[in-house]
Amino acid sequence: MAVPELAPLKESKVDVVIVGAGPAGYMAALWFARMGIKAKFIDKRSTKIFTGQADGLQPRVLEVFETFGFVDRAIKEVAVGYEACFYEPDDEGKIRLVDKQPEGVPGISRFNGSVIHQGRIETWISDAIEEFSKGELQVERPLLPEAMEVDTSVGDSTTEYPVKMVLKKLPDNDAGPDQFGHKVENGLYRQFDGDQKYEVPKEGEDLEVVHAKYVLGCDGAHSWVRKQLGIEHKGETTDFVWGVLDIVPITDFPNIRKRCSIHSKNDGSIMVIPRENGLVRLYIQLREVDHEGDKLSEVTGKKRVDRSKLTAEQILATAQKIFYPFSLEVAETHWFTAYQIGQRVATDFQKDNRVFIAGDACHTHSPKAGQGMNVSMMDTFNLAWKIGYVVKGLADPSILHTYELERHAVADDLIAYDLQLSRLFSSKPGEISTEEFRSVIEKGGAFTTGCTVNYDASVLIDKPADRPRTEPYYSALASNLAIGMRLPDTRIVMQSDGRPWWFNQRLPSTGEFRLLVFIGDYINNPSLKKQMADIGEFLARPESNVAQLRRDAVLQPMLVHASPQAEVTWDDFPAVFRPRDERGVMDYWSVLADTPTLHEKTGDAYEKYGISREVGAAIVLRPDGYVAKVAEPTLEGIEDIWRFLGGFLTAVKATT
Amino acid sequence: MAVPELAPLKESKVDVVIVGAGPAGYMAALWFARMGIKAKFIDKRSTKIFTGQADGLQPRVLEVFETFGFVDRAIKEVAVGYEACFYEPDDEGKIRLVDKQPEGVPGISRFNGSVIHQGRIETWISDAIEEFSKGELQVERPLLPEAMEVDTSVGDSTTEYPVKMVLKKLPDNDAGPDQFGHKVENGLYRQFDGDQKYEVPKEGEDLEVVHAKYVLGCDGAHSWVRKQLGIEHKGETTDFVWGVLDIVPITDFPNIRKRCSIHSKNDGSIMVIPRENGLVRLYIQLREVDHEGDKLSEVTGKKRVDRSKLTAEQILATAQKIFYPFSLEVAETHWFTAYQIGQRVATDFQKDNRVFIAGDACHTHSPKAGQGMNVSMMDTFNLAWKIGYVVKGLADPSILHTYELERHAVADDLIAYDLQLSRLFSSKPGEISTEEFRSVIEKGGAFTTGCTVNYDASVLIDKPADRPRTEPYYSALASNLAIGMRLPDTRIVMQSDGRPWWFNQRLPSTGEFRLLVFIGDYINNPSLKKQMADIGEFLARPESNVAQLRRDAVLQPMLVHASPQAEVTWDDFPAVFRPRDERGVMDYWSVLADTPTLHEKTGDAYEKYGISREVGAAIVLRPDGYVAKVAEPTLEGIEDIWRFLGGFLTAVKATT
Ligand SMILES: Cc1cc2nc3c(=O)[nH]c(=O)nc-3n(C[C@H](O)[C@H](O)[C@H](O)COP(=O)(O)OP(=O)(O)OC[C@H]3O[C@@H](n4cnc5c(N)ncnc54)[C@H](O)[C@@H]3O)c2cc1C
Ligand SMILES: Cc1cc2nc3c(=O)[nH]c(=O)nc-3n(C[C@H](O)[C@H](O)[C@H](O)COP(=O)(O)OP(=O)(O)OC[C@H]3O[C@@H](n4cnc5c(N)ncnc54)[C@H](O)[C@@H]3O)c2cc1C
């Protein structure tokens, strides 16, 4: 991967290069825009996606969207899955409703699994990037990386720019998606995107050189970055071919606006996903496809179906058979595609913690569980703030190790679930019982919400290292707050103005860690009052460096009390929780109350989190909202937390 | 008001001219944009407002914003009032907290009274106008009406363009707000806006002529339109002068983020309104003002304080005295003004139901109850859809009479409340007891939410004519749904996909009337099932004209059932509630359920509305969300409703 000598080219220096503007790339760019990191963001295609592609948004991703301030846009536009219907064939081969279940896991999140086409989702993120970066950070297209070279001699230096990339500007018309002769937009090209041949950059091409501290390969299933790193993408492609249709249906099928799993007698199965604006997505198992143009698979050596020959009409014809006795016609076709099921995971997610891959570059699988886009976004939601910290010199580069640790595990779980699911869906009737089918989907339900992700012990997650990630680990101080999992949401009251909020709304993704001191009912527990004062004093010591941590947007100390409002006064709270800025203007937004309000039912956050009002707890939340540590709300507890933070935060380490 | 002869000018024809782009004008334009009405929208100022001015948003206005799709923007930006604190002086003259109350009326609406500066509010509305009208409808500025002439010979014709106006384009620099020498933006100019002298349009000026069917004067307190109509603006201006400061405060006052009414011993009183972005608005009673430049009031003949001489510093100095013993300094001053309390109402709100006035043009009063902007917007929210119907030939012009009937009453109530409130605030300590003070504010609380407005009987409101509007009138069929009042919100479930919604979200301001057939538990009440079929048949008859009413966006029939979901199937519902479009695509969004869902507590809408599940009710909702009529959910009931609608809807009248 050496970069050849070329005549002097346009050169630039950036903190990070993001290769690929799909969901993973956009989410990375969002963090960088939010944190003010200088990034170059490139994509080889000349336009963004307009329709089709992925469409599922997990509850967890919606929670994350909320922390970036645009979940309301989502909520207004999406279709939400509330009910799942199961259809089986009767003896005459007519499908009939056999069961109804709640879709998703009631109560696990304020949001329910939602759907809308990927283009809209990318637009919301892209608008937020524009807003945060004031228009500075934008996708440059069509721009293709042609060579990459890493100077490993710098070790883990965070000040050097050891990655050199040569980028080629493509002519616009080379970079548009090929519709394979179809009039309707489709995803066929995506499947045949194929591998980018390694081309040696040549004089006369429209080239530029960029020097970066880090590179993020978000360039999808056929990742060029992954190949440059020589990372393997392990797994199998099966022979099952599925069609996808995004249509406005004309039908007498009564549950067309609910998520349905339909098994027919002889014609395969269908998943029905009602979508935004009257659209419905159908995932259709294709048993009979045109094998004429079969090619040999490069991977398996087996014959591969030439999916580019498939038409929307053929896919619809199969769907119509499965729907029998219900009618199914089409008023509009918005998008279609066909894919072959396969499951693959990259052996490594990074090289030297200098060049990273994320999203489909790391893991590919069937789209049926609606996970790819979500997991891809959550990959970079996990990674990019860490890079931001390192690039700014705020944290030790060792935190970068946690990316692979945390996200490889999720990818493994995802692939395992997808294998199960694909087997179910591709099974012949009778092969698998309806009960087994439902039970897999129900068990998978929690996983697919994205809310059960549980990160292992590391420099960023303080818990015993031997816990399997299937078993959430709780401290006795907060018996419902699993360490390594995201903070569940709750109603909470702003002390200064009495306004109730969802806690998640007060924990925006700013890049800050949060120290949440649940000080309990300090009015009725004098020892807690003393502890609050002690903690206040500790944090006010110059050696604690809180002023700088605040200035650098590294740590926001917050207090959550549970004392009766009638007895509480604003001056009770240590100054560090209501600091004044250089002008003397007070911060009114860091003291919260878990108390009933005059307007609505609030006051059960302690209970929800399993925190005692007599004992309290001190919680460290990571910038991505995962619980990093739980300690006592005492001087010792905070000292312990300071030791933990000193393990990676430069400004804390310097003083401890 | 005759228009002089001029050399041929640029001429145009529009349905409506809106004079004045303040809150009233914007809300009118929003309806016109939504309904596709051709309007000319002019303002004499060269720019919109950027800061300051009105800041209070009632719950009812937020509900209305939701029906136009942008309440989420508000919710994210506003400060919300949840608690009200009352301060009184002690013997030493130190103010101290004597009481805390919920701010607003808990439970009356999903929204609580909120604050943000008027410029933002106008931006949201203006963005929505742009979206609905696809950029067609925009404020033209600076444009001043110079003459207006109405040809009354056309009677109430809705096809002629009997109003002729001459408009003059102003040079940009003449039309900017004068800051009266202050560096800080302020509202002083607004107070001194004064009367526009009647100028005869002259050759050589940049003039144009516009012919309109209707004119809406939304041109504020000094309304030129009102004067053209010769309408009196009756009332009094008092001698009390108040200052307004929008500041980022530096203070040790502990409740600065709550709404506070503060009475000092000798220095007058203050209202504290915490605002967006750390701002706080103070309304400060000014006892000592510079009387040097006193002028004689044109109205009262008394001396008027020259408020243009006031500075932010003077106002602050008074505030500091009232705050004693708390400190009050200022980090940023965003805006300030001073005003003299006065209460005035126009004798008429229209002339010949051809030219209308709305907003401050009709009523002015003190800003302390935070009502002016709200009531102004609600004036045109009431009026503009009616004009839309008439202009499109969808309704009889007689419905225009209801504007003055309905909104004059609100103006009267508003002025009465404001007089009370102003007297309280301007009273000397001791003159009025704290108890009396609080009791007025508490009683006024419901009024100021905007949710208790109760429209009188008319062609649009079917109830006994002799009911005083202070007494809500209920039908026995819906014992909690007052006829003439807005439909209170509730959770409701979409039958087709099981998604729970707030009812208000499913009743967007599209211009449609809604026929809500609460058919009850039709599964367990065979007679209801029969009634549902009968109603379905009635509405399906060609003579009922439902297809056309739908096409013209005049009526949306909706069904709300209360039968157990396990037994309900989609095919139970008459086709008219789930019609197919010309392509055969079904409408899945007009059948609702008041049933528990698998995800959250729903199913109490019938109870909330006082409708029996065994009897049901049929409700007509106006396009503005007010209950127009309640009838039985029977063939007779619907026939009765058809007679009612035939009283003003062209398409119904034609067939009844
Ligand atoms: C039919 C279908 C349905 C799906 N449904 C869902 C769903 O419901 N929910 C869900 O979560 N996921 C779903 N997925 C999966 C989802 O689309 C992917 O997992 C997701 O897009 C991966 O995001 P990414 O950013 O990693 O990669 P991609 O979205 O593939 O983006 C990669 C980007 O990199 C660019 N690129 C590639 N190579 C280069 C290069 N060399 N140089 C520069 N740029 C490059 C590409 O142009 C592209 O813009 C579905 C996928 C399909 C096909
Ligand atoms: C300090 C202060 C605080 C207030 N606080 C609140 C509050 O909290 N809540 C609340 O609801 N209300 C409040 N109000 C009142 C509120 O500002 C007004 O009631 C509201 O703006 C009236 O709206 P309007 O559209 O009727 O008139 P305006 O807002 O006055 O708008 C009239 C528009 O017409 C234009 N115009 C005038 N004459 C002509 C002409 N001849 N030709 C063309 N254009 C013309 C003007 O330029 C202006 O843009 C407050 C007012 C003040 C001063």
- pLDDT tens column, B59-70: 999 999 999 999
Q: CA neighbours within 13 Å on the CB side: how many for A553?
A: 13
Task: Give the integer Cα–Cα distance in Å for B440 and B437.
Answer: 5
* Count of other CB atoms within 10 angstroms of residue A161: 17
Q: Which of B540, B575, B538, B582 is nearest to B559 (CA)?
A: B575
Q: Which CB contacts under 8 angstroms, 24+ apart, belong to A640-646?
A: A641/A515, A642/A544, A644/A462, A644/A620, A645/A513, A645/A555, A645/A620
Q: What are the residue ranges spanned by the domains of chain A? A: 10-448, 473-653
Interface of B with A in 75-134 (CB under 8 A): 75-76, 79-80, 82-83, 101-102, 104, 106-107, 112
Q: Which of B244, B269, B258, B246 is nearest to B323 (CA)?
A: B269
User: Which pLDDT score, from 0 to 100, does residue A309 have?
Assistant: 74
AA identity, residue A224: W
How confident is the model over B553-594, as pLDDT tens digits?
999 999 999 999 999 999 999 999 999 999 999 999 999 999
Q: Which residues of B touch A498 (CB under 8 A)?
A: 82-83, 258
In this model, does residue B621 exceed pLDDT 90? Answer: yes
Positions of chain A with pLDDT lower than 50, given as ranges = 189-195, 198, 288-293, 299-300
- Tell me the C-alpha distance between B105 and A295, whole Å: 71
- B360: which DSSP letter? G
What pLDDT, on a 0 to 100 scale, did the predictor assign at position A528? Answer: 98
| Contact indicator for B494, B587 with CB cutoff of 8 Å | no
Spatial contact of B254 and B367, defined as CB atoms under 8 Å apart: no
Residues of A annotated as part of the active site: 55, 275, 283, 367
> What whole-number distance in Å separates Cα of residue B426 and Cα of residue B339?
13
What are the Cα distances from residue B132, in Å, to A520, B135, B136, B383?
A: 50, 8, 9, 19
B231-246: average pLDDT: 85
B416 has a pLDDT exceeding 50: yes
- A 10 A CB-CB count for A304 gives 19
Angle, CA of A216, A222 and A228, to the nearest 5°: 55
The crossing angle, in degrees rounded to 10, of helices A635-646 and A526-540 is: 30
Asked if B504 contacts B489 with a C-beta cutoff of 8 angstroms, the reply is yes
Architecture of domain B474-653: 3-Layer(aba) Sandwich (3.40)
Residue of B15, B55, B246, B413 marked active site? B55
Ligand 2 pocket: which of B279, B373, B383 to mutate (most atoms <8 Å of CB)? Answer: B373
Q: Cβ(B534)–Cβ(B519) under 8 Å?
A: no
* Nearest residue to B202 (alpha-carbon basis) of B59, B10, B6, B54: B6
The Cα angle at residue B392 between residues B389 and B396, in degrees rounded to 5: 50
CA–CA separation, B51 and B53 (whole Å):
7
pLDDT at B179 over 90: no
Q: How confident is the model at residue B291 (pLDDT cuts 50, 70, 90)?
A: very low
Chain centroid to CA B272: 24
Bridge-based pairing of strands A139-140 and A39-42 is: parallel
For ligand 2, residues with CB inside 6 Å are B 19-25, 42-45, 53-56, 144-145, 187, 190, 196, 218-220, 224, 244, 337, 339, 359-361, 367, 370-374, 376
Element (H, E) at A150: strand A143-150
Angle among Cα A419, A425, A431 to the nearest 5 degrees reads 100
Secondary structure (3-state) at A16: strand
Spatial contact of A515 and A555, defined as CB atoms under 8 Å apart = yes
Q: Which among A143, A132, A159 has a CA at the least distance from the CA of A29?
A: A132
* pLDDT given for residue B339 in this prediction: 81
Phi/psi region, residue B617 (left: phi>0; alpha: psi -120 to 50; beta: rest), is beta
Residues in A closer than 8 angstroms to B79, CB to CB, are: 497
Pocket of ligand 1 (CB under 6 A): A 19-25, 42-45, 53-56, 144-145, 187, 190, 196, 218-220, 224, 244, 337, 339, 359-361, 367, 370-374, 376
Nearest by Cα to A32 from A219, A218, A222: A218
CB B61 within 8 Å of CB B377? yes
Whole-angstrom distance, CA of residue A469 vs CA of residue A455 = 7
Which string of b and e fits A320-346 if b means at least 16 CB within 10 Å?
bbbbbebebebeebbbbbbbbbbbbbb
Percent of chain B with pLDDT over 90: 75
* Closest of A340, A363, A390 to residue A226, by C-alpha: A363
Confidence of residue B354 (pLDDT cuts 50, 70, 90): very high
The pLDDT assigned to B302 comes to 53
Lowest mean pLDDT among A90-94, B345-349, B465-469: B465-469
Distance from first CA to last CA of chain A, Å, rounded?
A: 43
Does the distance separating the beta carbons of B106 and A599 come in below 8 Å? yes
pLDDT at B650 over 90: yes
Instruction: Assign B290 a pLDDT band (cuts: 50, 70, 90).
Output: very low
The identity of residue B426, as a single letter, is S
Question: CA–CA separation, B361 vs B55, rounded Å?
Answer: 19
Distance CA B425, CA B284 (A): 10
| Segments of B252-369 assigned E as strands | 259-263, 269-274, 280-286, 295-296, 303-304, 328-346, 350-351, 355-357, 363-364
In sequence order, what DSSP letters do the residues of B526-550 get, joined into one string? HHHHHHHHHHHHHHHSGGG-HHHHH
Residues of A in contact with B586 (CB under 8 A): 250-251
d(CA A361, CA A20): 10
A29 dihedral zone (left: phi>0; alpha: psi -120 to 50; beta): alpha
Chain B CB contacts of A588 under 8 Å are: 256-257, 278
Answer whether B596 touches A (CB < 8 Å): no
CATH, range A10-448: 3.50.50.60
Distance from CA of B585 to the nearest CA of A (A): 5
Spatial distance between the Cα atoms of B114 and A275, rounded to a whole number of angstroms: 34
pLDDT of B197 > 70? The answer is no
Q: Is the alpha carbon torsion for A281, A287, A288, A289 positive or negative?
A: positive
Q: Where are the alpha helices (DSSP H) in B342-477?
A: 372-391, 401-426, 434-448
- For chain B, the straight-line distance linking the first and the last C-alpha, in angstroms and rounded, comes to 43
Task: Report d(CA B32, CA B388) in Å as an integer.
Answer: 7
**What is the maximal distance between C-alpha atoms in chain B?**
82
**pLDDT over 70 for what percent of chain B?**
90
Query: How many CB atoms neighbour CB B3 within 10 A?
Result: 15
Reduce the secondary structure of B226-243 to three states and give it as a string.
HHHCCCCEEEEEEEEEEE
Indicate the DSSP class of residue A229: T
Task: Give the β-pairing of B363-364 and B328-346.
Answer: antiparallel
The predicted model gives B234-239 an average pLDDT of 78
Contact assessment for residue A485 and residue A453, using Cβ atoms and an 8 Å cutoff: yes
Res. B175 pLDDT band, cuts 50 70 90: low
Residue type, A600: E
> Which of B248, B259, B252, B310 is closest to B283 using CA atoms?
B259
pLDDT digits (tens, 9 = 90+) for B126-162: 999 999 999 999 999 999 999 999 999 999 999 999 9
Q: Is the pLDDT assigned to residue B359 strictly greater than 70?
A: yes
B325 touches chain A (CB under 8 A): no
CA atoms within 13 A on the CB side of A394: 21
- Res A369: pLDDT: 80
The answer to whether A224 and A299 have CB atoms below 8 angstroms apart is no
- The CA distances from residue A653 to A642, B153, B324, in Å, are 9, 87, 45
Q: Does domain A473-653 have CATH number 3.40.30.20?
A: yes
Task: Return the ligand number nearest the Cα of B379.
Answer: 2
Spatial contact of A395 and A648, defined as CB atoms under 8 Å apart: yes
Beta bridge partners of B389: none
The reported pLDDT for the residue numbered A376 is 97
Cα gap A292→A314, rounded to integer Å:
15
- How many beta carbons lie within 10 A of that of residue B171, not counting itself? 9
